[in-house]
Amino acid sequence: MPNPFHDSIRAVEWSNGALKLLDQRALPRQREHLVIEDTAGTAQAIKDMVVRGAPAIGITAAYGVVLAARACYARSPATWKQDIETDLELLARSRPTAVNLFWALERMRRHAATLGGDPYPALLAEAQRIHEEDIAANRRMGEMGAELIQSPGAVLTHCNTGSLATGGYGTALGVIRAAYAAGRVSQVFADETRPWLQGARLTAWELVEDRIPVTLLCEGAAAHLLKQGGVRWVIVGADRIAANGDTANKIGTYSLAILARHHGVKFMVVAPTSTVDMTLAGGDQIPIEIRADSEVLTHAGHPVAAQGAQAWNPAFDVAPAELIDAIVTERGVILSPTPEKMAVMMGRQD
């Protein structure tokens, strides 16, 4: 039976007392899973992009805390709360930009502080709540974001923001799923997203799996596409949204925001409130991860650049709030974000 949500993939699972990750480095060639039983393995998997996407990183880290607490309690029931701090630091060092990582670690730390006795069942339940709340937030954002798309047309997305990047269903891709199911999207364009090719390898894979037709383009083709008309919305996710609405997302998002404004195309950011960092006044304060130059100079282990060339590889950039038409979170939609509107939205209860 067709899934009414066009949603069949899960990247992060808890299975038989261990963390099970779909290895996103191998997609779309192979569907392989890694089973991880310790914190060091969890941190390494985040660093190496086995799992990626801001909400999925946060959920993975939450399960990493469960693994840490289980091991620390088994070693020393009296001191496990102090002992897991080293593991929390290890997880926090895995990737710097997606604030969902730090949000999830803090939530798990707060929950751990309330516990007596064996922490494993209660921390596992908390990690599973984080996971389930993320999927529920995505479904809600999907509905609200889809309603913003008033006249059916094409949409353009960047990177991968779907089930693979979240607990399930997706943020920007959740909106696209919901809008497609409602007949509001005639065509989905996806940037291939150099250098990791999240668009070509992951977004295209999960849309094809879920029977949503997708057309790929090199991100260099986006200006030409938007100039032709037909694309109504550019829809992206976020790794961190500052208190004024400035949004860090996959490198290339800033260019898309400029292109969209230039061509009169609307620009939507879709992210749960766990991606909002109200401690940072503006996007200039968001730490931007710089990854290895080998990711630009090689592809699948083979050199693609002239020997001796150097590379610069920022993984994210910041789209300023004034270029964003709508921010969609599970707590509501903000049109033309300002610090005041962000504060009101973040003050709302779920």
Q: Which residues are catalytic?
A: 239
Distance CA 345, CA 254 (A): 24
Distance CA 12, CA 35 (A): 10
Q: 142 with 174: CB under 8 angstroms?
A: yes
Considering the complex, state which of residue 108 and residue 238 has its C-beta at the smaller distance from ligand MRU: 238
Site membership for ligand MRU, residue 244 (CB under 6 A): no
Among 192, 239, 246, 317, interactor with ligand MRU by CB under 6 A: 239
* Residues of span 66-85 touching ligand MRU by CB under 6 A: none
Among 39, 42, 247, 249, interactor with ligand MRU by CB under 6 A: 249
Considering the complex, state which of residue 22 and residue 112 has its C-beta at the smaller distance from ligand MRU: 22
Cβ 341 to ligand MRU, closest distance in Å? 21
For 327, phi then psi, to 5°, come to -110, 125
Site membership for ligand MRU, residue 237 (CB under 6 A): yes
Site membership for ligand MRU, residue 52 (CB under 6 A): yes
Considering the complex, state which of residue 111 and residue 250 has its C-beta at the smaller distance from ligand MRU: 250
Distance CA 64, CA 40 (A): 9
Distance CA 301, CA 315 (A): 19
Distance CA 188, CA 186 (A): 7
Beta partners for residue 277, in sequence order: 242
45: its two tokens: 């998997």
Considering the complex, state which of residue 53 and residue 337 has its C-beta at the smaller distance from ligand MRU: 53
Cβ 279 to ligand MRU, closest distance in Å? 19
Alpha-carbon 7 to chain mean position: 16
Site membership for ligand MRU, residue 154 (CB under 6 A): no
Site membership for ligand MRU, residue 157 (CB under 6 A): no
Site membership for ligand MRU, residue 55 (CB under 6 A): yes
Distance CA 56, CA 131 (A): 9
Site membership for ligand MRU, residue 204 (CB under 6 A): no
129: its two tokens: 């709540």
**Contact positions vs ligand MRU (CB under 6 A):** 52-55, 98, 159, 161, 165-166, 171, 198, 237-239, 249-250, 315
